[in-house]
Amino acid sequence: MKRILVPIDFSEQAECAIKTAARIARRSGAEMFLLHMLNLPMNETDMSAHGDASSPAKVLYLQKIHQKIDAVMKSDFLKGIKISEEVRFHKTFSGIIDYSHELGTDLIVMGSQGATGLKEMFIGSNTEKVVRNSDVPVLVVKKGVGELNIDKFVFASDFSDEVKPSFGRFLEFASKFDAEVHLLFVNTVHNFEPTKETNKRLREFVADFDLPTHTLNIFNDTSIERGILNFSKDIEADVIALNTHQRSGLSSMFNESISEDLVNHALKPVITFKL
């Protein structure tokens, strides 16, 4: 891992994302790139490549933004890490994707403020749009997650053959932390299958990989999402890993209703790998 991109907006959740990215950067020797997107009214402050950024008001505004970023970059938790900053004028999610392509980013780390279920964590937000469109893994960290020590991953999937390439990328990421990997299939009334059949598929799936310390798990619950959250809580996992389809984001994973009792559930960080 060489480059980690962290979109920032100076919020508490963005600070959590920066701290998490810093821990990963120290572990992997990666360089960090902080990106602030200015999604401003075009008729007032068009400072894009084709706009006028020379007016005193606009120059002063830019100076204040850079001062804020400089203050972040001087934080104690970033000392010793190679770090760069960029300010761009673009739609937030597409600007993040474009800059990620330019850098050849290996990982995007983003903050999320929602204290809700996995679906609400993404759907309708810039984070969800980045998750849906990113070619590289996206790690989403919630406000208040605290110091992140990555010792246990949960990789939740249906473990079909199409998942294997992204699972390989996940293992490459997980190897940076010498962490345990807990493979999880959630069995529900709506997608029920016999345990014997699931066990067979799980064993055949992992046979193609050189895995670290790991477990194979079948967990019964009322929904896929609730099963992931409950299992992750039971084993005290640090990070939940999921697959996404570019065309549909997380919708294929979460096609069941979300229980009301999860609305205020505090989630673990989630990392997504595109199929």
1-146 and 149-275 share one CATH topology?
yes
Kindly tell me if the per-residue pLDDT of 68 is higher than 70.
Answer: yes
- Residue 274 vs residue 234, higher pLDDT: 234
Nearest-angstrom CA–CA distance, 219 and 205: 17
Helix extents (H) in the chain: 12-28, 42-45, 56-73, 92-103, 118-122, 126-133, 164-174, 195-206, 224-234
Task: Report the phi/psi class of residue 116: left, alpha or beta, with left for phi > 0 and alpha for psi in -120 to 50.
Answer: beta
Give the phi and the psi of residue 82 in degrees, each rounded to 5. Answer: -70, 125
Average pLDDT over residues 47-68: 69
Model confidence over 70-93: pLDDT tens digits?
999 999 999 999 999 998 887 778
Place of tokens 């964590």: 121
pLDDT, residue 123, reads 53
Kindly tell me if the per-residue pLDDT of 56 is higher than 90.
Answer: no
Average pLDDT over residues 114-130: 65
Asked: is 149-275 a CATH 3.40.50.620 domain? The reply is yes
- The first and second tokens of residue 217, run together, are 């798990």
Place of tokens 């997650």: 145
Model confidence over 177-194: pLDDT tens digits?
889 999 999 999 888 899
Nearest-angstrom CA–CA distance, 22 and 52: 35
**For 1-146, CATH number?**
3.40.50.620
Kindly tell me if the per-residue pLDDT of 46 is higher than 80.
Answer: no
Model confidence over 251-270: pLDDT tens digits?
555 443 332 333 234 468 88
- Residue 154 vs residue 63, higher pLDDT: 154
Kindly tell me if the per-residue pLDDT of 158 is higher than 80.
Answer: yes
* Whole-number average pLDDT of the chain: 82
Q: So where are the chain's domains? A: 1-146, 149-275
Kindly tell me if the per-residue pLDDT of 213 is higher than 60.
Answer: yes
Whole-structure pTM value = 0.84
Nearest to 83 by CA among 29, 37, 134: 29
